[in-house]
C-alpha cells in the first residue's frame, strides 16, 4: 500500500536517491525545498514518489522493479494525487525517473495514457573549476543587483511581487531563499526585468532558475544575472546546476556561455490527470 511519509521521516529515503541525479530529489529529502513523498513502506521504504512543492514534477526514486509500488501507482495517482492536484489547479502529471532504469518502467506503467515526452539536459560546473563563460555588455539603463530582503522591500521598485512569487514557487518563503540560496536580478528604471536565483539547493549544489520578461529578451540580461550567480557560487565553493529542455536553444546556449558543462540527459513524461482529456 502506498502511503505518504511524514516530513520528519524523509531521511529514510536518502538510501533511495541517485546522488549523481537530480538536485530536486536531494533538496526535498534534505528538507531544503518543499515537497511530499509517497512510499511503499513508511518504516523501510524501497520505492517512492516525490511531488515537488512547486508542483513542477513527480520524481520516481528507489527500486524500479518493486511491483508492490509499480502495480499500485496508477490507481494511486487517480484516487489520491489527482483530486489534490485538481484543487491546486495542476492539470498534468509530469513523471521523471531519478535514474535511467526508471524510464522504461514509466513508459510501461503508463502505456495506456497519452504521454508527451520531452528531452532534458543538465549542465553543471565541475567542483573546483572556475567558469570560462562570456560576459556580454549590457545596454545603457540596465543595472544588476543582488536579490536581498532589502531589495524586496524597496518601494521604488514596482514589481517586487513578480520576483516574490517566483521565489515562492521554490521556497517556503523569500526569507528562506535568502538564507539558503543566491540570486541576482536586472533592473531597468523601477522594474525588475530579469532574474536568476537558486531554485533548489542540496549540500553545495545550487539549481538555478532564470527568467527574463518577454519585452526585454534577446539582450543578454539573463546571462548577466546568471554570470553573477555563478561567480558568487564559485567564490563560496558552491556548484551551479542548470536544467532545461533540449529544445530550448536559448537556455542551453546561456548555460554554455556562463561556463557550465553538460552533465546528464533524461526524459520527462507528461500526461493529463483527467482521463476525459486523454
pLDDT number for residue 13: 98
Domain-by-domain residue ranges, the chain?
Answer: 3-121+267-277, 142-259
How many residues does the structure list for the chain? Answer: 278
Helix axes 249-257, 221-235, angle to 10 degrees: 40
CATH entry, 3-121+267-277, from 1.10.10.10, 3.40.630.110, 3.30.360.10, 3.30.1280.10: 3.40.630.110
* Rounded Cα–Cα distance for residues 238 and 261 (Å): 15
Architecture of domain 142-259: 3-Layer(aba) Sandwich (3.40)
Q: What is the pLDDT of residues 205-221, one digit of tens each?
A: 999 999 999 999 999 99
CA-nearest of 67, 78, 77 to 38 is 77
pLDDT number for residue 139: 87
**How far is residue 15 from each of residues 26, 98, 168, 237, measured CA to CA in Å?**
11, 13, 28, 26
Q: Which stretches in the chain have pLDDT values below 50?
A: none
pLDDT number for residue 244: 95
Q: pTM for the full model?
A: 0.92
CA-nearest of 54, 226, 237 to 144 is 226
pLDDT number for residue 56: 83
Amino acid at each position: 500500500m502506498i502511503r505518504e511519509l511524514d516530513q520528519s521521516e524523509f531521511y529514510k529515503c536518502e538510501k533511495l536517491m541517485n546522488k549523481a541525479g537530480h538536485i530536486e530529489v536531494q533538496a526535498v529529502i534534505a528538507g531544503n525545498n518543499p515537497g511530499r513523498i509517497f512510499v511503499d513502506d513508511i518504516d523501510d521504504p524501497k520505492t517512492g514518489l516525490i511531488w515537488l512543492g512547486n508542483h513542477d514534477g513527480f520524481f520516481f526514486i528507489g527500486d524500479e522493479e518493486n511491483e508492490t509500488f509499480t502495480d499500485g501507482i496508477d490507481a494511486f495517482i487517480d484516487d489520491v494525487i489527482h483530486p489534490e492536484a485538481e484543487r491546486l489547479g495542476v492539470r498534468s502529471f509530469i513523471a521523471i525517473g531519478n535514474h535511467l532504469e526508471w524510464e522504461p518502467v514509466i513508459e510501461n506503467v503508463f502505456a495506456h495514457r497519452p504521454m508527451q515526452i520531452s528531452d532534458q539536459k543538465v549542465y553543471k560546473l565541475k567542483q573546483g573549476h572556475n567558469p570560462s563563460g562570456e560576459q556580454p555588455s549590457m545596454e545603457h539603463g540596465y543595472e544588476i543587483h543582488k536579490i536581498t530582503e532589502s531589495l524586496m522591500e524597496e518601494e521604488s521598485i514596482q514589481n517586487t511581487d513578480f520576483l516574490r512569487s517566483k521565489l515562492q514557487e521554490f521556497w517556503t518563503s523569500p526569507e528562506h531563499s535568502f538564507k539558503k540560496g543566491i540570486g541576482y536580478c536586472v533592473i531597468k528604471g523601477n522594474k525588475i526585468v530579469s532574474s536568476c536565483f537558486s531554485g533548489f539547493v542540496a549540500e553545495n549544489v545550487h539549481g538555478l532558475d532564470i527568467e527574463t520578461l518577454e519585452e526585454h529578451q534577446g539582450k543578454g540580461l539573463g546571462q548577466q544575472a546568471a554570470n553573477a550567480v555563478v561567480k558568487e557560487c564559485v567564490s563560496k565553493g558552491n556548484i551551479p546546476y542548470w536544467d532545461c529542455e533540449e529544445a530550448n536553444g536559448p537556455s542551453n546556449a546561456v548555460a554554455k556561455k556562463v561556463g557550465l558543462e553538460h552533465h546528464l540527459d533524461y526524459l520527462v513524461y507528461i500526461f493529463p490527470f483527467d482521463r476525459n482529456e486523454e
